[in-house]
Structure 1
Amino acid sequence: MCVQGCMEAVRATAARAGLSRRGFFGRAGAAAAGFAAMAVEPTVVAAAPRSFERVVDLTHTLTPAFPGFFGAPLIELERRADFRKDGYNMQDWRLTEHAGTHLDAPIHFAETGASVEDIPADTLVVPLAVIDVAEKADADADYLLSRDDLVAWESRHGRLPAGCCVAMHSGWGRLATEDPARFVGRDVDGTLHFPGIAPEAATWLLKERDVIGLAVDTLSLDHGPSSDFKTHAIWLPAGRWGLENVANLDKVPAAGATLVVGLPKVKDATGAPVRLLALI
């Protein structure tokens, strides 16, 4: 019989040696038996080392009042069970796919293409490149992130990482809660005004760089006045995904972070609210 702490120590030794359980005991059965006979103190196995120091939440809290293209509410919650009455809490949700911080799947702008459940998991943990155009967007609410902005980023940080997500930081993220009317930017004629990504920039990224995702801190990949949503039409049918209403892009570095997209796996969904995390 193994004394307390024995098996934990054996497993830790096997892990350090890079051996499977079967391989370890097959090769070192005698040594393990001898080790088991010794009286040892309980071993505390250290947690696996992390390759990041902090986590930044890039997600807005989704509420019925969160601004959207079609007004509020984008989510409605109805009480199904109450703790005092039923012994547990539960709610029913009525939810718009493209609500709050969310992902656009390729099928969103194509007759055929990947829906949410088809997006490979290994394309949802990717390098993050943040392009800061906040000063330009402050001067022009309809600003379009351009190819020149991308080239300027690369001149400072090197070539965009393979398989990355390119995020536009326009400064609009804070307006979602601080000033929802300006966040949407609807004028007296009903036209919206907020920054987006130029179709030419999206085309360049498709042809010249290995980029899997686009992200914006505004309502849309296309800027507010767009009526043809050309950036969507270029980007999504090419098998890429897009993120909209991203928060806190001012809290992550321009380069070096890893983006984790927590995407619910809903069959045939054209998009879904997500929990975005930046590992730094």
Structure 2
Amino acid sequence: MTAVLPALVDALRGGSVEAIDLTAPLSETTPILQLPEPFANTQRFRLEELSRYDDRGPAWYWNDIHTGEHTGTHVDAPNHWVTGRGGLDVSQAPLGTLIGPAAVIDKSVEAAADPDFLLEIDHVRAWVDEHGPLPEGGWLLYRTGWDARSHDQELFTNADEHGPHTPGVSAECARWIAEESPVAGFGTETVGTDAGAAGGFDPPFSCHHFLMGAGKWGLTSLQNLAQLPPTGAVVVVSPLPIVGGSGSPARVYALVER
């Protein structure tokens, strides 16, 4: 029997398996979701220095961190939405979900032409016809090229007097992913799993509504999906196990055979 883990270590060291970081760095400039009044908003990520090799601590540097659960690259747990009330919190995420195969659907050309572009069921079915079935218990990752905007709050949220304009998923497709597809989670490059205009969908914020209601997981503000093949990558998602938490910033990376 082949020793799988030593073989994986050798493959990573030798370059036949590459680890690709899918995580946006966390800083005070990390774009965040901004809801209209009267809704509460999350705070920006912030470091509060405790000591830096000084009289507060002569030999060490450390900080408190201040952030929301849903800041930067982060996980949405089922209990994040009212339809998933009573569902798993982020500390209860199954390891078999956090480490799993990924299918990557690329609609970056369409999103570049139309920032309100929506993924439809037929788009996913066409992908399946070309690449094979979606991975059982894995992740569907939706590439739109939106990560190129992640350095700038205004570009990333892309809002005008009518609201934000960012690509997403139609209500019908969100229901299908949640209720009919075999995946355990859905990931995007945008600030949330929903389209910018999803507040006006039926139901509003359909991805959250259907995914969380089905006990599935969301993953947002991803980067570097362009470096992943349509199939074959394994995604590793590492949120903080916050007891009772509705989500958590996460380090996310993919393992890809070269």
TM-score class normalised by the smaller sequence: 0.7 to 0.9
Q: After superposition, give the CA deviation of every residue in 1:161-180 in whole Å (9 maximum; x if it has no partner).
A: 21110011000011101x43
- Provide the C-alpha distance between the structure 2 equivalents of 1:72 and 1:176, rounded to a whole number of angstroms: 17
More contact order relative to length (CA 8 Å, sep ≥ 6): 2
Asked whether the equivalents of residues 59 and 274 of structure 1 are also in contact (C-alpha less than 8 Å), the reply is yes
Name the CA distance, whole Å, in 2 between partners of 1:88 and 1:243: 34
Q: Confirm whether residue 131 of structure 1 aligns to residue 138 of structure 2.
A: no
- Bigger Rg, structure 1 or 2: 1
Q: CA deviation at 1:200?
A: 1.4
Length-normalised TM-score, structure 2: 0.86
Distance 1:136 1:17, change over 3 A: closer
Paired position in structure 2 for 1:182 = 155
Identity of aligned residues (%): 33
How far is the alpha carbon of 1:244 from its aligned partner? Answer: 0.7
Q: Which residue does 2:75 correspond to in 1? A: 103
Q: What is the root-mean-square deviation in Å for CA atoms of aligned residues?
A: 2.0
Between 62-71 and 127-136, the greater mean CA deviation after superposition: 62-71
Structure 1 runs not aligned, ≥5 long: 1-15, 19-46
In structure 2, what is the Cα distance between the partners aligned to 1:133 and 1:99?
24
Structure showing the higher strand proportion among its residues: 2
Q: Distance in 2 between matches of 1:17 and 1:141?
A: 48
TM-score, length basis structure 1: 0.79
Q: Which amino acid aligns with 2:193?
A: L
Q: 2:37 maps to what in 1?
A: none
Letter of the 2:241 counterpart: K
Residue equivalent to 1:77: 47
When you count helix as a share of all residues, which structure comes out higher?
1
- Equivalenced residue count is 235
Query: What is the rounded CA distance, in whole Å, between the counterparts of 1:234 and 1:269 in structure 2?
Result: 19
Corresponding position of 1:224: 196
Aligned pairs for 1:153-172 (under 5 A) are 153-172=127-146
Number of the residue aligned with 1:30? none
Q: Distance in 2 between matches of 1:209 and 1:226?
A: 21
Q: Which runs of 5+ in 2 are unaligned?
A: 35-40
C-alpha displacement of 1:73: 5.4
Distance 1:97 1:91 in 2: 18
Other structure's SS at 1:80 match: strand
Task: Report the equivalent of 2:30.
Answer: 66
